[in-house]
Amino acid sequence: MTSLLELDSVKVSYRVAGKPRLVAVDDVSLSLGTRQVLGLVGESGCGKSTLARAICGLEGLDSGSITFDGTPVKRLGMRTRDRKLLRIQMVFQNPYASLNPRRTIGKQIEDGLRVNPDRTAWTVPDLLAHVELDASARSRFPHQFSGGQRQRIAIARAIASGPDLLVGDEPIASLDASLQARVAGLMRNLALETGASLLFISHDLSVVRVIADDVAVMSKGKIVERGDVNEVWSNPQQPYTQQLLSAIPKVDGLGILPG
């Protein structure tokens, strides 16, 4: 399998006032093939989101390199994004903040269509239909939609640009339980349908198990285990993974609370 995204000993750290630098991502190497769905799991604060932001060029690297389809990913800063890197798109965690409140849904999806190399691939009503929204949504504003609908609009906008890699940074974390599986499944289907890979970040292992092919487990800035999702699930090698899996609430009637 040719590798679409290649992370080579990536290290990202933050400056914390009055303390030594906080290393959020420490020496992470990872590769992701085309049309592959990778679930990245780990507890809060383990560096998942920082890694996602680094892949999109939103964080500078201390050391190591990220290569996307042969192009090195550099920090975006104040430049216009490299055309090749437009093929990486991200869906954010908070659906209430990820859409511009002053512009209609149609206009925002058109922003995505404008950078799609295949201009005839989608139309706005098409995309809205694919994320199970009414075509009349295009002339409405974000505040007229619920959280789950907004997240689907954000997914439509990302897909509109024809990405080769879709990064979901906990896209289901702020949705209610009944919607989580649906939105996650929608992301997987849309990504695969358009020939894109999906990096799905979540702390919800049960959803990752359903939608991901591979899973990578992250702890304290490092990737501790990576493998086929079913294998990791049935036979976790690392103690941290075992701990994480055992923390999934079970419907066993015993009332054990996780963690």
Partner 1 sequence: MSQTTAPASQAQPDVLAVAARRRLRFPAALRNPLAVTGTAIIVVWLVLALLAPMISPADPLAQNFDRLQPPSAAHWFGTDQLGRDVLARVLDGARVSIILPLLLVVSSLLVGTIAGSIAGYFGKVADEVIMRIADLVFAFPTIILAMVIAASLGPSLTNAVIAMLIVSWPAYARVTRSLVVVASRSEYVVAGRLLGNSPFTSLGKDILPNIIAPVVVLATLDVGTAILLLAGLSFLGLGAVPPTPDWGAMVSDGVQNFSSWWISVFPGLAILTVVLAFNFLGDALRDGLDPRTADAVKGRAL
Q: What are the residues binding partner 1 (CB under 8 A)? A: 56, 58, 76, 78-81, 83, 86, 88-90, 92, 94, 97-103, 111-112, 114-115, 141, 143, 154, 157, 161
Complex with partner 1: residue 96 or 233, whichever CB lies closer: 96
Token duo for residue 2 = 């040719």
**Min CB(7)–partner 1 separation in Å:** 18
Q: Which two tokens stand for residue 121?
A: 């691939």
Least Cβ distance, residue 97 to partner 1 (angstroms): 4
CB 180 within 8 A of CB 211: no
- The conformation of residue 228, written as its DSSP 8-state character, comes to E
Q: How far is the CB of 159 from partner 1 (least distance, A)?
A: 12
Q: What one-letter code names the amino acid at 194?
A: T
Angle at 238 between CA 233 and CA 239, to 5 degrees: 100
Nearer to partner 1, 59 or 214 (CB): 59
**Closer to partner 1 by Cβ: residue 141 or 233:** 141
- Residue 256 makes CB contacts below 8 A (sequence gap 6+) with 249, 250
Q: How far is the CB of 4 from partner 1 (least distance, A)?
A: 17
Task: Report, in Å, the least distance between residue 143 CB and partner 1.
Answer: 5
Residue whose C-alpha is closest to residue 148's, from 198, 197, 188, 187: 187
Smaller CB separation from partner 1, 140 or 220: 140
Angle at 91 between CA 166 and CA 204, to 5 degrees: 90
The order of strands in the sheet holding 37-41 is 88-91, 165-169, 197-202, 37-41, 214-219, 222-228
Shortest distance (Å) from residue 179 CB to partner 1: 19
> Is 97 or 256 the residue whose CB approaches partner 1 more closely?
97
Choice between 90 and 183, CB closer to partner 1: 90
- 69 contacts: CB under 8 Å, gap ≥ 6: 4, 5, 84, 87, 164
Which CB sits closer to partner 1, 115 or 181? 115
Whole-number minimum distance, CB 248 to partner 1, in Å?
29
235: left (phi over 0), alpha (psi -120 to 50) or beta: beta
